[in-house]
Chain A
Amino acid sequence: MNRIIKIIFLDILKNKIILAYTLILAILSWSSFGLEDNSAKGLLTILNIILFTVPLVSILFATIYLYNSTEFIELLLSQPIKRKKIWLSLFLGLSLAMVLAFFIGAGIPLLINAPDSVGIMMLVIGCLITLVFVALAFLSSILTRDKAKGIGIAIMGWLYFALLFDGLILYLLFQFSDYPIEKAMIVVTAFSPIDLARIQILLHLDVSAMMGYTGAIFKDFFGTSLGLLLSFSLLCLWIIIPFFISLIKFKNKDL
């Protein structure tokens, strides 16, 4: 298993795209931290990277990579290796490379320029979001054999979580503004990993505003160590469940 992870990891590193991704993240982060003497602008830039760029690149790159390595996977399957092992090592190799790219590109400037709770929170959440979207890529690529369709599903998934879901929430908020929906809203956020990530970072970044109004309700929930634990485990579920479904499908797939 370790050997397969190593092969995949090295293969991805040979692929120049991931190096370009690291470089772009690094340039964005360093330049935005260097823009002003306080770290606020830089943190905002990295927040947007985590909520927007990281999911997109993770899901697209992983999906395309999986489709392109169909022949390699078939070759592996002809060997006496368990299917579970192959799929898991593919996942680990891919996510290791993506997390490393995020860590070097955005994590290091983050740790140097904002070495406080906000910075560390962002780093951890950025890594988790990478894993979530790699797992979603595994799901979307196993759903269909057609490459174009699979990439289409991946893009749709990203669009849904990055944009449509928030629009939906906004719509719900204003439609049901006469009802006490704050608690229901907390439950709804669990359905989007990006929202979970965003709220956790928000609680550290805009603490003064989040303490006011119903913000206090969110703070009471997400801000406590129980809420923190819960939202982290929800993010982990967002990694495990899509990957697990894809694993079952892969096991039973007629190749």
Chain B
Amino acid sequence: MKKLLYIFLFFSSFLHANVIEVGANKPIKSIKIAISLAKIGDTILVHKGVYREGNIVIDKRIVFLGKGYPVLDGQKKYEVLSIKADSVVVQGFKVIKSGYASLEDPCAIKVYNKNHVVIQNNILDDNFFGIYIQNGKNCLIKNNIIVAYGKEEQQIGNGIHCWKSENLQIIANTISGHRDGIYFEFVTNSIIWRNISTNNIRYGLHFMFSNDDAYITNIFKNNGAGVAVMFTKNVKMFNNYFEENWGDGAYGLFLKEITDSHIIGNKFSKNTSGIHMEGTNRIRVEKNVFEANGWAMKIQASCVDNEIVNNNFIGNTFDMGTNGSLVLNKFDTNYWDKYEGYDLDKNGVGDVPYHPLSLFAVLVENNPSAMLLFRSFMITLLDKSEKVLPSITPDNFIDNSPLMHSLPL
């Protein structure tokens, strides 16, 4: 037993030797000096305090730890932390006030072409860009709180910005007040999981040319224009919440040129448009809940072979909207709360098909100010007669087996 203790003590003192402490009442007071003294594999432990050292570059494989959230202040002039080595760990810092520039993108924390970097448990406050992964692989960004106070799109950068990267994990971050909460461009095989992105000026999540990614169980709420997924294949969107994205051109989820993707188990509530689809092909929209949206879905005529099955449409002003008469998509076994049919054989499926596209939705699409007349008696009459004899709305915009009761989602 004693022997074991000696061995243990020996190792702990051995470990201690590799820790360089930085603090106001420690021998080393500057982070930059500590980094220059550190050897590969060392740990730099920074104690509580405010550090104004301009641009701090980490160019060795070290563990960079903050204790009691030491503040790294960029004084609105510098990029705060530049990571230029593989396998660096950055943890427990409060990074504030990175510089602002229009040519370069000064960040709170930026990774330059390196792999296996871990950035976790940091607080980022009032930065131009939050965390920037440029050409990184296998990086982990976890449990960070990223806050900014942007007013205009061009005055502020993105919360988590990833460019030309692979195998990233973006987990459990909270982002608000940036231009885009999370921005992905040319990022593949990555996962965005359990993040909360709210009150960003443009998109909660902005996603371009990023194939084979998944985003799961995130909350996107009250962003300027919701979430945009564009020019991408094989995206999996599971169990996310899209809420309260209001305004002209605001969408819960905006899909443009997306193919072979899955949208399953999400909840869209109180958006001006729940899902807006443009030029999307072979998407499966399944088991989602659309609740209290202006338009639950807008499927433009350029969309082909999408399947909308087993969803709940509850309390939306319009269930569907479209801009043409061409319908090449499939609707099946959804629950529509506006369905007025009957079920004589009691199998839970309505006996008459449901036309989710109302005449007035088409009128409003052509002439938005007609919204003024919504729910007036005349419009209700017109809608009713259109339901019986479709003339303006495409007659194959149809759910042949609408459910009588909502699905337990």
Interface residue from A44, A48, A173, A216 paired with B247 (Cβ < 8 Å): A216
Residues 288-318 of chain B, each 1 if its beta carbon lies under 8 Å from chain A, else 0: 0000111100000000000000000011111
Known contacts: A181-B369, A212-B247, A218-B371. The answer to whether A198 contacts B376 by CB under 8 A is yes
Question: Which residues of chain B from 356 to 391 have any CB-CB distance to chain A below 8 Å in the complex?
Answer: 364, 366-380
* In the assembled complex, B246 has its CB within 8 A of some CB on chain A: yes
Please, which residues of chain A bring their CB within 8 A of the CB of B376? 51, 166, 194-195, 198
Please, which residues of chain A bring their CB within 8 A of the CB of B246? 207-208, 211-212
* In the assembled complex, B104 has its CB within 8 A of some CB on chain A: no
**Min C-beta distance of B48 to chain A, whole Å:** 45
For the complex, what is the distance from the CA of A182 to the CA of B315, rounded to whole Å? Answer: 27
Interface residue from A38, A169, A170, A202 paired with B375 (Cβ < 8 Å): A202
For the complex, what is the distance from the CA of A173 to the CA of B373, rounded to whole Å? Answer: 10
Is the CB–CB distance between A169 and B294 below 8 Å? no
For the complex, what is the distance from the CA of A216 to the CA of B270, rounded to whole Å? Answer: 15
Is the CB–CB distance between A213 and B248 below 8 Å? yes
Please, which residues of chain B bring their CB within 8 A of the CB of A198? 375-376
* In the assembled complex, B334 has its CB within 8 A of some CB on chain A: no
**Min C-beta distance of B245 to chain A, whole Å:** 9
* In the assembled complex, B250 has its CB within 8 A of some CB on chain A: yes
Is the CB–CB distance between A170 and B373 below 8 Å? yes
Residues 182-205 of chain B, each 1 if its beta carbon lies under 8 Å from chain A, else 0: 000000000000000000000000
Please, which residues of chain A bring their CB within 8 A of the CB of B272? 208-209, 211-212
Residues 315-342 of chain B, each 1 if its beta carbon lies under 8 Å from chain A, else 0: 1111000000000000000000100000
Specify which of A52, A182, A211 lies most central, judged by the most chain B CB atoms within 10 Å of its CB: A211
For the complex, what is the distance from the CA of A166 to the CA of B360, rounded to whole Å? Answer: 14
* In the assembled complex, A199 has its CB within 8 A of some CB on chain B: yes
* In the assembled complex, A189 has its CB within 8 A of some CB on chain B: yes
Is the CB–CB distance between A208 and B368 below 8 Å? no
Is the CB–CB distance between A166 and B373 below 8 Å? yes
For the complex, what is the distance from the CA of A121 to the CA of B317, rounded to whole Å? Answer: 19
**Min C-beta distance of A105 to chain B, whole Å:** 20
Is the CB–CB distance between A206 and B317 below 8 Å? yes
Residues 132-157 of chain A, each 1 if its beta carbon lies under 8 Å from chain B, else 0: 00000000000000000000000000
For the complex, what is the distance from the CA of A161 to the CA of B294, rounded to whole Å? Answer: 27
For the complex, what is the distance from the CA of A198 to the CA of B292, rounded to whole Å? Answer: 19
For the complex, what is the distance from the CA of A207 to the CA of B374, rounded to whole Å? Answer: 12
* In the assembled complex, B271 has its CB within 8 A of some CB on chain A: yes
- Closest residue of chain A to B315 (Cβ to Cβ) is A40
Is the CB–CB distance between B377 and A185 below 8 Å? no
For the complex, what is the distance from the CA of A48 to the CA of B367, rounded to whole Å? Answer: 24
Question: Which residues of chain A from 170 to 191 have any CB-CB distance to chain B below 8 Å in the complex?
Answer: 170, 173-174, 177, 181-182, 185, 189
Please, which residues of chain A bring their CB within 8 A of the CB of B368? 213-215
- Closest residue of chain B to A201 (Cβ to Cβ) is B375
* In the assembled complex, A234 has its CB within 8 A of some CB on chain B: no
* In the assembled complex, A28 has its CB within 8 A of some CB on chain B: no
Please, which residues of chain A bring their CB within 8 A of the CB of B318? 209
Please, which residues of chain B bring their CB within 8 A of the CB of A199? 372
* In the assembled complex, B273 has its CB within 8 A of some CB on chain A: yes
Is the CB–CB distance between A169 and B372 below 8 Å? yes
Question: Which residues of chain A from 210 to 253 have any CB-CB distance to chain B below 8 Å in the complex?
Answer: 210-216, 218
* In the assembled complex, A162 has its CB within 8 A of some CB on chain B: yes
* In the assembled complex, A167 has its CB within 8 A of some CB on chain B: yes
Is the CB–CB distance between A185 and B367 below 8 Å? no
* In the assembled complex, A1 has its CB within 8 A of some CB on chain B: no
Question: Which residues of chain B from 254 to 277 have any CB-CB distance to chain A below 8 Å in the complex?
Answer: 270-273
Is the CB–CB distance between A211 and B293 below 8 Å? no
Please, which residues of chain B bring their CB within 8 A of the CB of A206? 294, 317, 374-375
For the complex, what is the distance from the CA of A202 to the CA of B294, rounded to whole Å? Answer: 12
**Min C-beta distance of A197 to chain B, whole Å:** 11
* In the assembled complex, A104 has its CB within 8 A of some CB on chain B: no
Interface residue from A44, A167, A173, A211 paired with B370 (Cβ < 8 Å): A173
Is the CB–CB distance between A185 and B372 below 8 Å? yes
Interface residue from A40, A52, A169, A212 paired with B248 (Cβ < 8 Å): A212
For the complex, what is the distance from the CA of A48 to the CA of B384, rounded to whole Å? Answer: 15
* In the assembled complex, A10 has its CB within 8 A of some CB on chain B: no
For the complex, what is the distance from the CA of A210 to the CA of B294, rounded to whole Å? Answer: 7
For the complex, what is the distance from the CA of A174 to the CA of B369, rounded to whole Å? Answer: 9
Known contacts: A163-B378, A209-B317. The answer to whether A182 contacts B370 by CB under 8 A is no
Is the CB–CB distance between B369 and A208 below 8 Å? no
Residues 79-92 of chain B, each 1 if its beta carbon lies under 8 Å from chain A, else 0: 00000000000000
**Min C-beta distance of A36 to chain B, whole Å:** 8
Please, which residues of chain A bring their CB within 8 A of the CB of B371? 209-210, 213-215, 218
Specify which of B293, B315, B371, B372 lies most central, judged by the most chain A CB atoms within 10 Å of its CB: B372
Please, which residues of chain B bring their CB within 8 A of the CB of A177? 366-367, 369
**Min C-beta distance of A78 to chain B, whole Å:** 44
For the complex, what is the distance from the CA of A47 to the CA of B375, rounded to whole Å? Answer: 9
- Closest residue of chain B to A40 (Cβ to Cβ) is B315
Interface residue from B294, B366, B373, B379 paired with A209 (Cβ < 8 Å): B294
Known contacts: A166-B373, A173-B369, A218-B372. The answer to whether A208 contacts B271 by CB under 8 A is yes
A–B pairs, 10, beta carbons within 8 Å: A47-B375, A166-B373, A166-B376, A170-B370, A170-B373, A170-B379, A182-B369, A202-B374, A209-B272, A211-B248
Residues of chain A whose beta carbon lies under 8 Å from any beta carbon of chain B: 38, 40, 44, 47-48, 51-52, 162-163, 166-167, 169-170, 173-174, 177, 181-182, 185, 189, 194-195, 198-199, 202, 205-216, 218
